[in-house]
Amino acid sequence: MSTTTRTQVIIVGGGPSGLMLSHILAQAGIESIILERTSRQHVLSRIRAGVLEAGTVQMLRQHGLAQRLDTEGSVHNGTGIVWAGHEQFFIDVKKHTGRTMMTYGQTAITEDLYAARDAAGGVIIEAAADVALHDITGSRPWASYRQDGVMQRIEADFIAGCDGFHGVSRRSIPETVLQTFEKVYPFGWLGVMSRTPPVPEIIYANHPDGFAMCSQRNPMLSRYYVQCPLSDTPEDWSDDRFWNALTTRMGPVIADQIETGPSIEKSIAPLRSFVAEPMRWGQLFLVGDAAHIVPPTGAKGLNLAFSDVFYLSRALIDFYRTGKGSGLDSYSETALRRVWSATRLSWWLTNLLHRFPEQTAIDQRLQEAELDFLRRNEDAQRALARPYVGEPF
């Protein structure tokens, strides 16, 4: 037998976007129910990028979510870039913007968010199958889903589509309304996690063999990547082959600082830029990966998801406090401005740092000349530092 429940905001998807939105709404006294297709264990098993913009860190602190971040995360004043045997060149983000970033894994943030929702008695319905959205353009939208074989119904004022790229929310918007923009890059990133002390900085490498990077999760957990063909599988990459590729591409000075060890996780991720417009239809608002995907270069995915949450939570809080819908009306336009800024930055960094299949010797030299221009030009460094550390909300 089905039951009908009523809430203020239905949140489809219990990833970082959905959890953060429900947390902020609850702090403002707004009720929500999260519908998650999979399980908490599944959500927590996903490894994603780990660099937080200054604004993301501030947002986590403001909402009481930074206790573990402030003990385990580490502050970074900038990022290194190496190419063509040059010494590492450091983009001093702090000098150019007065702001800093932090490394802290998305998995840890998701754990912290689940803990905060549990402590506050937040409702997260796991294993919610066949979620479908109804009456989206009416004033009483509702969602149906199946749990343990029984159909259920939730009615609400609003629906937040936080269900990632493959979710149902974006697909609920008619094709005549939704415009999508997409670019798929012809390579992947092989990511490796190892229980070894990381090199101190985040470092990107441009090398004729392909892109590589050094990152970290905590003082005993390193995260490294090398560009690889999309046709490769993790089994094609023994640990030895991986460390050889990484150290060759980083060059001898950085290779000397890299402590190798057994990998504890190895996976290949494709690179894609994708934006869907508008991010609102009727009472449905798209948030995070449901509306946009960036390639991992620049680590913008989670930061962008949280900037959507920032705008939408403010608009909803304003609506419930004052009855005014102006924040909701401008949500799509406001969020998309930042989305396109991060989409541009991650596309630009991807083009600058990767080896493209049809690339010739002159294309390689032009990338190197562009990097050299960046090294010699303070204005260019500032122009990169601002969107890299994150535009203010």
Stretch that binds ligand APR, among 15-23, 50-58, 318-326, 361-369 (CB under 6 A): 15-23
**Residue among 8, 27, 38, 244 that touches ligand APR (CB under 6 A):** 38
**Residue among 9, 14, 76, 102 that touches ligand APR (CB under 6 A):** 14
Alpha-carbon distance of 132 to 119, in angstroms, equals: 29
15 binds ligand APR (CB under 6 A): yes
Classify each residue of 162-198 as buried b or exposed e, where b means 16 or more C-beta atoms within 10 Å of its C-beta: bbbeebbbbebbeeeebeeeeeebebbbbbbbbebbb
Q: In 3D, which of 169, 223, 241 has the Cα closest to residue 49?
A: 223
CB 152, min distance to ligand APR, A: 13
345 binds, among ligand PHB, ligand APR, none (CB under 5 to 8 A by kind): none
Footprint of ligand PHB on this chain (CB under 6 A)? 49-51, 202, 215, 223, 296-299
- 266 among known catalytic residues: no
Alpha-carbon distance of 160 to 338, in angstroms, equals: 19
37 binds ligand APR (CB under 6 A): yes
Torsion of CA 109, 115, 121, 126, to 10 degrees: 70
Size of site (CB under 6 A) for ligand APR: 27
Alpha-carbon distance of 373 to 389, in angstroms, equals: 20
Stretch that binds ligand APR, among 64-72, 156-164, 353-361, 365-373 (CB under 6 A): 156-164
Q: In 3D, which of 108, 112, 105 has the Cα closest to residue 19?
A: 112
- 224 among known catalytic residues: no
- 76 among known catalytic residues: yes
Q: Under a CB-based contact definition with an 8 Å cutoff, are residues 25 and 14 in contact?
A: no
Choice between 215 and 260, CB closer to ligand APR: 215
CB 212, min distance to ligand APR, A: 20
CB 130, min distance to ligand PHB, A: 33
Choice between 207 and 217, CB closer to ligand APR: 217
Q: What is the CA radius of gyration of the chain?
A: 22
Q: Which of 16, 295, 296, 387 is catalytic?
A: 296
Query: How, if at all, do strands 101-103 and 74-76 pair?
Result: antiparallel
- 296 among known catalytic residues: yes
- 166 among known catalytic residues: no
Q: Under a CB-based contact definition with an 8 Å cutoff, are residues 234 and 212 in contact?
A: no
Q: Which of residues 167-186 bind ligand APR (CB under 6 A)?
A: 167-168
- Which positions are annotated as active-site residues? 76, 204, 296, 300, 388
